[in-house]
Every structure is written in structure tokens, then in C-alpha cells.
Structure 1
Amino acid sequence: MECIAKKEKLLGLLAMAATLLIWASFFISLRASGQSPLTVGDIALLRFVPAALVFGILSLPKTKQIKATAKRYLLAIAIGAGLPFFLLAANGLRLAPVADGASLIPGILPLFVSSIAAYCYREKISNIRKLGISLIFIGIGLFITHSLSSGQHQVLQGHGLLLTASFSWAWYTIGMRVSGLSPIAGGAILAISACLLLPVLYTMGWVEFNLMSAPTNDVIFHLCIQGIAAGIIANFSYGYAISRLGAEMSAALGSFTPVIAALMAVVIFDESLTLTTATAMGLIVIGALSASEIIKLRPTIIRSLAKPTNP
């Protein structure tokens, strides 16, 4: 029995390692799109269309459950991790370095989730979570101070977009938690809603498409990273890691994303990793590790909120 448990844990760690590499590659891909003829709209197509097809088919048996879910939870999922989140993250990373984006989006997530849980659901914040949130605040302050002192107002604007993207993802996290939907059903909701929203934004002139005239190599690269790896594989690998390691450990390990992404950016884009950036990134990682282990709503709250209600 102990041998089986060790094997299961090892498989969970391998799945989480794959997830971290994909998440880091997600930020690298968005950063690379700024140096490509591909528009943000093109990357969104490559990101959501494959996921909509795969998760849409897999979630067909759960159609009744999805329809019975309160609309406010479906909206939190669709907006929180769908096209609005993607546009915020993509445009933010076109203005700020990869290390900043990888730190501010997943790293600040525990702060926003805790704030939403405490304000909306009156959840008490323990001392260890308060410590983690304090470290995250200090890390954010270092990022902003560094941008202001160096006159990098463009980077500061990117930080604002990235923080908004993280807040959006926090609502998705809460929405998924209280809805009771599976990751596949959630993936179908956010991907299909994004595919439906893209033509609307195009007619309004908010997004542009250049996919047909873009180099084939760029299309294949972003399709593999965004559409297949981040859009499909990471959903399965992260879900598998949670089932083997638990939500707390998986969330804690997820906070190492900025470290991996920053090291990849140094090699690929020759981005410099200053002492201030490294310190801010380290504080956010440590803060996320402290806070992530206990970010969860009370079971009674989850059961009451997960009941289908009339929106």
C-alpha cells in the first residue's frame, strides 16, 4: 500500500512538473506574440478553438448540469478565464517582461481569492494567510517602485493589465469552486464563450485577425503552446496532480511558475533579471506558498452556494 501511495505521489509530481512547464510556456508564447505578425485575436483563436472542440464534445454528457448551474457562476467562469482574461494577459505581457507577468498573474492570485472569499463569503483569514498576503503586497510594491523609478511607464501600464487579469482569474477560481462543475465542463464554458465573443469584438473593431497571412512556423508554434498545451493538456495534467497531491500542494507548487518562466525568458528573449525583480518575484512566490495552502471556502458555504438557484 505504501509503495502504491509513493507511486501515485510521484505521478502527481510529474504531472505538476508538466503543468508548470506549460504554464511558463504560456507566458513565453504571449510575450513572443508581440514580436510576431500574429495579432492578439489570432492567438486567441489558436488558444480557444481547439479547446472548445475537445471540451465541448467531452462535456456533452454534462449539458443538463451546466444548464442547471447558476448563471452568475457560469459568467464568472466565462469572463474570469475566458477571452477577457486572455486579452488582459496578452496585452499586459506585450508591455511588461515575462517575469513580471508570470509573477503577477499566478502569484497575486491568492491575495485576490482571499479578498473575495473574506469580503463576499465572510471567511476568516488566518495568521499564516495574512503573512503570505503581506509578502505578496511587498512584492507588488517592489515591482511598481522599480517601474516608477526607472521611468518605465509602459511597463507600469502592463502591470495594471496583469493585475486586472489576476483579479479576473480569481473570480474564475471562486466560480469553479462554488459551481461544482468539473474542469472539463469549465473548460468548455470558457472556451466556447470565447469563440462566440471573438466575432463580436471583431465587428466592434476591438480585435484584428491576420492568421492567414502569418508565417506557418508562428502559427504552428502558438497552436502547440496555446491551443494544445495550455488549452487542453494543462487542464488534464493539473487536474491529475490535484487528485494525487491535493489542492493545497498543487496550488503551492503552481507558485513556482514565475521562476521557471523568468529563467526561460532570460535564455529566449535575453531579458535581464535585476536584483529588484528577483527579490519581488521571490517574495510573491513565498507569499503564495504561505497563502495557497489554506485558501478554501468552508464546506458548508460550498454546499450552499453550489445548489442550483434562480439567477
Structure 2
Amino acid sequence: MERLTTKDTLLGITAMLATLLIWSSFFISLRASSESDLTIGDIALLRFVPAALVFGYLSRHSLRKIQTTPKRYLLAIGWGAGLPFLMLAANGLHLAPVADGASLIPGILPLFVSSIAAFCYKERISASRKTGIGLIVVGISLFVTHSLFSGQTDVVQGHGLLLLASFSWAWFTVAMRVSGLTPVTGGLVLAGSACLLLPVFHGLGWVTFNLFSAPLSDIMVHLLIQGVAVGVLANFSYGFAISRLGAEMSAALGSFTPVVAALLAAAIFHEALSTTTLLAMSCIICGALAASELIPLKGKLKQPGWLNRLRWQR
């Protein structure tokens, strides 16, 4: 049975705090891209190409490990946090406010992770996790109901895309934990697969490029945020946090992203936070904490049984 030491916990929480700050910048960057000349394809280039180069160099002696990893885990990593995830998140944030995106993507993670555990691996759901899932569902319902009654059908569509993005990220979170890949080798799978998919998606007409026509200032800002911070640093810090804290606790800490992102959005884009939005965010954050059983943590943390079983069965 795997146990986490106090040192592991502290290192994992530190990595997640850094990840929270970067994720908040990620949502701000995607929202800002909708008001610039940069396309989603341009953002993908800035995010994944530098990461593929960095992680490719760092993983040059570990390619054998990637080759022997079950393909289903590689697919979940590449799809769950790669180009398909970015397109879902970016299109969703073009339709919905930053606070909604920051709540629905990381905030719903514990719901999806627990659902994967229950339906795919027959894990028993505790009373605490059931309560948390219930609160998350209430939070989602508040977001959707508020948009429907206000006649904002485009926002509802945005919410749907953001929920799909969160579901993809949940599979990435689980796959990173059970695959045995390091944050560096996992980062190569994620970024490398996105680089391979970009010309395919361009050929299908799903993404376009306008990088050379955009202002240099926009390119540099998004390169620093998406390429360096999100593409390299966050991939490593989140993967490191998962390796130290486990999938569910990392997902729980990630639920605090909307608080930071909403404050930044209010300051930068002057997005107002309605009473309903604040209530929905509160429900999702409290639900994420309860669903991931973070509150009763006392120095040692047992990993969910389904994660341990998968590790030995792959």
C-alpha cells in the first residue's frame, strides 16, 4: 500500500500552488486571444512547439519507456491535455466568461475522476465523495440555469464545450498517474502528439494560422504564458503534483483556480461576478474538496484502490 510522506505532501502542494497561478494565466490568455489577431491554431503553435522541443531534449534517453507504455494511456494523455483539449477550452472561453471556464474545467475534475473510478474501475464511492459530487452538480446547474434564464444560449454552448474539456483533462489526470511516466516524458507525449495533430487539423480546416500577421507584442505575451508557463512549467508542475499527491488530491487543489482567475478577469476584462456566479463557484470548490477527501487528510494519504490496481495491471 502506497503512503505519502510529509515531504512528498509539501512538495506536491507547492507544485500545485505554482500550477494554480499558471492555470489562471492560461484562462486569461485564452480569453485575451479572442480579442487579438491570433487564432486557436496560433495559440497551439506557441504552446506545444516549445514544449515539444524542451521535453524532447530532456526525454532523449527515456524514449524506450514511452514506447513500452500501454497505448491507451498515451492516447488519454495526448487527447486529454493536448490539442483537442485546447480547442475545446479555447472555443468554450470565446463564448463563456473566464470565471465560468476556470470553474468548470478544473472545478469539475473531481466529479469526472470519481466517475471514472466508479464506472470504469468499480471503485466504491464514499459518503464524503457523494456529498462533494452533489455540490458540484448544484454548481454546474446554477451556471447553466443562470445562462438559460438570461437568454444567453451562446454561453450555454460555451459551458458544454468547457465540460467536455474538463472530462478530457480528467482522463489525462488519471492516465498520468497510472502510466508510470514522469512529468517530463508525459509532457513529451502531450506536446509531441499535439504537434503531429496540428497539420492534420489544419488540412481538415479545423484550425487556421495567422501568426506572421499578428502584432509582435501579442505573440510574445502568449508565447511566455502558453509556450513557457503553461506548455512547459505547468505540465511539469502538475505531473509532479500528481506523482506526489495522487490524481484526486491534485484535482481538488486545482478547483481553487476559479478564485484566482475570476479576480484577474475582473481586473483585466472588467468581468462582473454576479451573485449566482459566486454561489456556483463556492459550491464547486466545496464539492471538489469533499469529493477528493482533502479535508480529512492527516499527514498520510492512501491512494484510491483503483489507481493502485491499475498500476500493477498495466
TM-score (norm 1): 0.91
Paired AA for residue 36 in structure 2: S
Paired AA for residue 56 in structure 2: G
- SS of 1:61's equivalent in the other structure is coil
Aligned to 1:285: 285
Aligned to 1:49: 49
Paired AA for residue 135 in structure 1: L
Aligned residues of 2:28 and 2:261 also touching (Cα < 8 A): yes
How far residue 285 of structure 1 moved from its aligned partner, in angstroms, is: 0.5
Aligned to 1:274: 274
Paired AA for residue 148 in structure 1: L
Aligned residues of 1:117 and 1:297 also touching (Cα < 8 A): no
The aligned runs of 1:118-157 (5 Å cut-off) are 118-157=118-157
Range moving further from structure 2, 227-236 or 33-42: 227-236
Identity %: 68
* 2:306 is the alignment partner of 1:302: no
Question: How many residues are aligned here?
Answer: 302
Range moving further from structure 2, 172-181 or 248-257: 248-257
How far residue 10 of structure 1 moved from its aligned partner, in angstroms, is: 6.6
Aligned to 2:77: 77
Give unmatched runs, 5+ long, in structure 2.
295-302
- Per-residue CA deviation, residues 107-129 of structure 1 (Å, 9 max, x unaligned), is 11111111111111111111100
How far residue 291 of structure 1 moved from its aligned partner, in angstroms, is: 1.3
Give unmatched runs, 5+ long, in structure 1.
307-311
| Distance of 2:13 and 2:293 partners within structure 1 | 16
Aligned residues of 2:174 and 2:247 also touching (Cα < 8 A): no
Range moving further from structure 2, 166-175 or 9-18: 9-18
| Distance of 2:276 and 2:256 partners within structure 1 | 18
| Distance of 2:123 and 2:246 partners within structure 1 | 21
| Distance of 2:12 and 2:167 partners within structure 1 | 28
| Distance of 2:11 and 2:73 partners within structure 1 | 32
How far residue 178 of structure 1 moved from its aligned partner, in angstroms, is: 2.0
- Per-residue CA deviation, residues 58-104 of structure 1 (Å, 9 max, x unaligned), is 11222111111111111111111110011000000000000000000
Range moving further from structure 2, 47-56 or 58-67: 58-67
Aligned residues of 2:177 and 2:243 also touching (Cα < 8 A): no
How far residue 158 of structure 1 moved from its aligned partner, in angstroms, is: 0.2
| Distance of 1:226 and 1:57 partners within structure 2 | 19
Aligned residues of 2:22 and 2:230 also touching (Cα < 8 A): yes
